[in-house]
Amino acid sequence: MSRFIFVAMMLAVTVAGCNRFPDNGLQIAANIPPDEGGCGFSADAEVRLPRGLYDIAYPRDYVIAPLLQSYLVANSLEFQAEQNNLQVDNYEITILLPDDTVPVLPGGLPNPNRVDTSAVLPATTGASISQAVGVALGIPASYKDALRAIEAETGFSSIILSIRAGGTTFGGFSQRSAPFRWPVNICEGCLGVVCETADELDDSCLKGQDTWPYCAVVIPPTDP
């Protein structure tokens, strides 16, 4: 082998090595519950729900807020801007049954389903981890009849959302996380409460899901 060919091969290996990202450069670490007001999400949140709860009696979508983590190390140079900042812009969500089978949903509803999100994770430095929350539509309200059919046919009152985040680095490299499994109990009317006035409830933007109640019945005022 000539010296020229050997040097050229070594150069190619070096360039490829510089552009190789780890397989786990992007991952989902948790699903973040809303803050106390029920409308916002923060990557610094300390509370973690062990599983979700979706009341399909209420006419709302089921919203997810995955905590995204990037392990891509900063590689900016004096003559090159940072290439490892990561823009996460989609989730691939597959509905699974508790036995890990993938149900065929009625009405031709897609499963897996691809949904949009938007979050930017800066490149990390040292041993740090970059985090951000990417809010998205986990289960559209249009899937409620399909969820009812799943329970009627299988007897399962829960599902698993297998969620994979996807995005692109500022340098143009695609990233796709390993699946994050989020179990969701399905109920109909279980989060309803009885109130004298609607003002008694917390002002949540996500009524009918997880631990946030809505007012199923308002007791009318009685005449003195």
pLDDT digits (tens, 9 = 90+) for 175-223: 999 999 999 999 998 887 778 777 666 556 788 888 766 777 788 776 6
Determine, yes or no, domain membership for 41: yes
CA 48 vs. chain centroid, Å, equals 14
| Total residues belonging to the chain | 224
pLDDT of amino acid 24: 63
Domain count, the chain: 1
CATH of the domain at 97: 2.60.40
Determine, yes or no, domain membership for 116: yes
pLDDT of amino acid 88: 97
Backbone angles phi, psi at 65, to 5 degrees: -140, 75
Determine, yes or no, domain membership for 64: yes
Per-residue pLDDT tens digits for 121-145: 999 887 789 999 999 999 999 999 9
pLDDT of amino acid 223: 60
- Asked whether the beta carbons of 202 and 114 are under 8 A apart, the reply is no
pLDDT of amino acid 118: 96
Q: Please tell me whether the overall predicted TM-score, pTM, comes out greater than 0.85 for this model.
A: no
Per-residue pLDDT tens digits for 36-88: 766 788 888 888 889 999 999 888 899 999 999 999 988 877 777 888 999 99
Determine, yes or no, domain membership for 209: no
Determine, yes or no, domain membership for 205: no
Determine, yes or no, domain membership for 192: no
Determine, yes or no, domain membership for 134: yes
Domain, as residue range, for 99: 23-185
Determine, yes or no, domain membership for 99: yes
CB neighbour class for 111 (10 Å; exposed up to 12, middle 13-18, buried from 19): middle
Q: How far is CA 150 from CA 105, 144, 155, 165, 186, in A?
A: 8, 10, 7, 25, 10
Confidence of residue 9 (pLDDT cuts 50, 70, 90): very low
